[in-house]
Amino acid sequence: MRARGYLVWTDDFRAASRPKMTEKRQFRAIKGTRDILPPDSALWNWVEQTAREVFETYGFRDIRLPIFEETELFARSIGGESDIVFKEMFSFLESRAIELPQSPSIGRILQLAELVNGAWERGEIPKTARNEAEFGRLSHAHQQLQSGPFVPLAAMTAPNRDGLETAVQLLATILDSAGELGVQTSLRPEATAGSVRAYIEHGMHALPGNVKLYYTGPMFRRERPQKGRYRQFYQIGAEVLGPSDAPAIDAEILEMLLVFFARVGLTKTTLYVNSIGCKACRPKYVELLREELRKVKDQLGPDSQRRIETNALRVLDSKLPHEQPIIETLPRISGHLCPACSEHFSKLKDELKLRNLAYQENWRLVRGLDYYTRTTFEVTAEGLGSQNAVCGGGRYDGLVELLGGQPGVKGIGFAIGTDRAILSIQESGNLPRLPGLAVFVAWMGAKAYPVAVSIARKLRNRGFAVELPPEELKFKKSLGLADKLGARYALIIGEDEAASGTYTLKRLADAEQKKLSETDLLEHLESERRGPHA
Ligand code: AMP
């Protein structure tokens, strides 16, 4: 069967562009994406490796998640009204085998009927005479079900029950002939939703204690690209899921974060914390905020005006200069937290002091995603201009249950923007000395070549980065290239050296030369590597 969303597109594309395929053209990376090239990629690897090392000392373990998930997973967790879900996701249609459950609920039947409808319109279901007829009847049954009140099966009126039975039968036949139907899928804009999905799918609540996970990888948001803001960007994140919401968990995750930032040389950072309350207290505060915002609506910009009704907390995020004095007069959540949230927040602050972690309270830190409860936090760094947030995170206690998991599971996590962390390290000039090319083997003469190959392998076996020219070079050219490649040493092997078994090791920085046997050479390089200047 033809007709999977992206395949249709590929087929159309092939047909449309066939005549042009022979013309020469160059390609560039798509807007908002970029290549990370050497030597920058070495800095990236080092930053990610440092995160792994630090996080593992806190008991976190790596989780590798898919890069695309069902769109609905993101819509449910991040929130349909958030900018991310509303306008920034890269979505496409994927195919998935769908089976009708043994005794489906009305909700599930309506959902499947919607899916069949969409698939029918896209031509994904074979248009056989039988399917045409069944589909007509299904549409009728679907309408009947939709128009009826949503009542339990037992309490259903006869026409509705009939409608339901017909719909089930028809769905069964159509799904049977379709085999697979399209499902809306999106490239992940963040990885908390996927982590929670995986936690539930693999029954990780049964694991002992809190489950601590970390991930690294690309995320995708269709934002307006600028310095520090890309459509494919990278995050290093961590999540703690489990039965406890002790403030010490929040504090420990913040400690880990700041230890990591210090380890990679990002010291000019500021940690902001806030509590945005829970299901019990936040709605009341949001209502109060909304009332106050309505009073000043005329003075706000269009975005904030829209958000008053859709996502009032987000108004506090506004950066518009003329809205700032107005926002400052609005009621603050700290005065409206319920006793449990208030206590949680004050214990968190005690824990931060206990760990000597400097922080600032920021009552306007609400974060854009729906799933946050209580603790929210952000870290900013210097040298990044307007996109200065390098990390964001918070608690999401109800998310596991919202996504169909065990009730009562609590969660907290953060995501570091790797691109921005690296930009900030580069701007600070505080770059680590990463090992580069150690030895350039300058060989000359056919008899020297086998010796050069053998020594290069031995050095590489010991972990040294070695460049062995594939073709013979003149002496001067060889040393010139060694220099340009930034090699620490040139190992000179001519035919005489090959015959005598003694080689010249030249340190390129100061031209110091030593004549060494193979054993001495290996020992010398090892001891230099161990030494203070290695
Ligand atoms: P969020 O998932 O929105 O809480 O973002 C967490 C961190 O990811 C932010 O603090 C940024 O450092 C980074 N980030 C978010 N969106 C982008 C983007 N479009 N480009 C680069 N970094 C981003």
Specify the higher pLDDT residue, 176 or 450. Answer: 450
What global pTM score does this model have? Answer: 0.85
**Residue ranges in 397-489 assigned as alpha helix (H):** 399-402, 418-428, 448-461, 475-484
State the pLDDT at residue 106.
76
Residues framing ligand 1 (Cβ under 6 A): 190, 221, 223, 228-230, 233, 235, 389-392, 415, 417, 419-420
Mutate to test the pocket of ligand 1, among 36, 233, 379, 395 (most ligand atoms within 8 A of CB): 233
Nearest CA residue ID for atom 1, ligand 1: 392
Taking the mean position of all CA atoms in its chain, how far away is CA 125? 35
- CA 26 to chain CA centroid, Å, is 30
Using one digit for the tens of pLDDT, what is the confidence trace for 243-263? 999 999 999 999 999 999 999
Residue 533 pLDDT exceeds 90: no
DSSP 489-517: EEEEE-HHHHHHTEEEEEETTT--EEEEE
- Minimum mean pLDDT range among 128-132, 196-200, 443-447: 128-132
Q: Give the confidence band of 10 by pLDDT, cuts at 50, 70, 90.
A: low
CA atoms within 13 A on the CB side of 208: 1
Q: Ligand 1: which of 230, 235, 270 to mutate, judged by most atoms within 8 Å of the beta carbon? A: 235
Chain segment 195-237, per-residue pLDDT in tens: 999 999 999 999 999 999 999 999 999 999 999 999 999 999 9
Give per-residue pLDDT as tens, 335-360.
999 999 999 999 999 999 999 999 99
More confident site: 96 or 119:
119
Q: In degrees rounded to 5, what are phi and psi of residue 14?
A: -60, -45
pLDDT by residue (tens digit) across 353-390? 999 999 999 999 988 677 789 999 999 998 888 889 99
Q: Give residue 19's pLDDT band: very low, low, confident or very high (50, 70, 90).
A: low
Tell whether the model's pLDDT for residue 158 goes beyond 70: no
Token readout for 414 is 């953060």
Based on the number of CB atoms within 10 Å of its own CB, is 155 exposed (0-12), middle (13-18) or buried (19 or more)? exposed
Rounded distance from Cα 417 to ligand 1 centre (Å): 5
